[in-house]
Amino acid sequence: MLSRRAGVSLSNSEDGSPLAKSRAAFCEGTVIHVSRLSIALVCYVVLGALTWTTITDSKIRAGTLVILALFAVKSVLRRKDVLHADTESDAD
């Protein structure tokens, strides 16, 4: 039932996965490498813009933007921890 809603036919599958052919057709010829960090930062910017346009009280707006900024900083700092996790365990 889900495959019909997604527009994918189970008979289109060559390797047993119903989504394999649709992914191949969608991504055919395009190579776009987007990191999860950049997606997260773009989402924080979009949320910040929506906050700015929808919340009119300046104190609540500022508090919300500060919280979003803290999440963005946490995302950047956590990425460095995740990328270099093996070097810390080898040093001990």
Q: Could you tell me if 61 and 52 are in contact, meaning their C-beta atoms sit under 8 angstroms apart?
A: yes
Where are the domains positioned within the chain? 1-31, 36-91
Q: What is the pLDDT of residue 10?
A: 52
Q: What is the pLDDT of residue 13?
A: 45
Tens-digit pLDDT profile for the chain (92 aa)?
555 555 555 554 455 555 555 555 555 566 667 788 889 999 999 999 999 999 999 999 999 999 999 999 999 888 877 766 666 555 55
* Amino acid residing at 52: W
pTM of the model: 0.55
